[in-house]
Structure 1
């Protein structure tokens, strides 16, 4: 079965990556995304920004990957930021409470700015 998901990773700095997701995040594609996110953690990138602007559909499998990735990032002292979700995906985050536990940003730049402040030495 062909997977309708493209994932691109851009390294922002040694501990931060922007992961751009395009397509449908569902039972057929969730494992692919999980592998990409786990690989970032393996390379020490514990701060992840997910650009969701091109995700047209997400089901519970996709939500589970985001929840698992959040847990894994936080265990490493980082976090998972969600950027630019389409209205139907943002509504899913609101209905499931994911928007209460994860920062949801208007765009990638806002997420990186927020993350930069959170990562700054105190």
Structure 2
């Protein structure tokens, strides 16, 4: 799984290049972002291309957040579709993740 990656100061923005994050691709997703998580501490996942997330997708995102937090880093999410945002609110993930409308807002949140 390939992702578009760009760097703004000390923040790494990863445009997740998939329409769904679910049981069918969560392991592949994790393997593809693992090198990014290992080498950067401030990461933004731009989820603007993702239309569907299931429990496996939620789990892999939480795993990414925990890994960064364990090393003093953090993960922000941006560009969530209304459907994905609704799911995150339903399962209370909006209480765990910092979510923003745009990558610029997410970048600014790192201060």
Q: TM-score, normalised to structure 2's length?
A: 0.90
Deviation readout 1:68-93 (Å, 9 max, x if unpaired): 00100101111110101000100111
Residue 22 (structure 2) aligns with: 26
- 1:1-122 paired onto structure 2 within 5 Å: 6-13=2-9, 15-21=10-16, 22-43=18-39, 45-115=40-110, 117=111
Give me the TM-score of the superposition, normalised by structure 1.
0.83
SS at match of 2:95: helix
The alpha-carbon deviation at position 29 of structure 1 amounts to 1.2
Structure 1: 5+ residue runs without aligned partners? Answer: 118-122
- Segments of structure 2 that go 5 or more residues without pairing to the other structure are none
Q: Distance in 2 between matches of 1:42 and 1:79?
A: 12
Higher strand fraction (1 or 2): 1
Equivalent pair of 1:7/1:33 in contact (CA under 8 Å): no
RMSD of equivalent CA atoms: 1.5
- Aligned residues, how many? 110
Q: CA deviation at 1:48?
A: 1.0
1:12 to 1:35, Cα distance in 2 relative to 1, 3 A: farther
SS in 2 for 1:113: helix
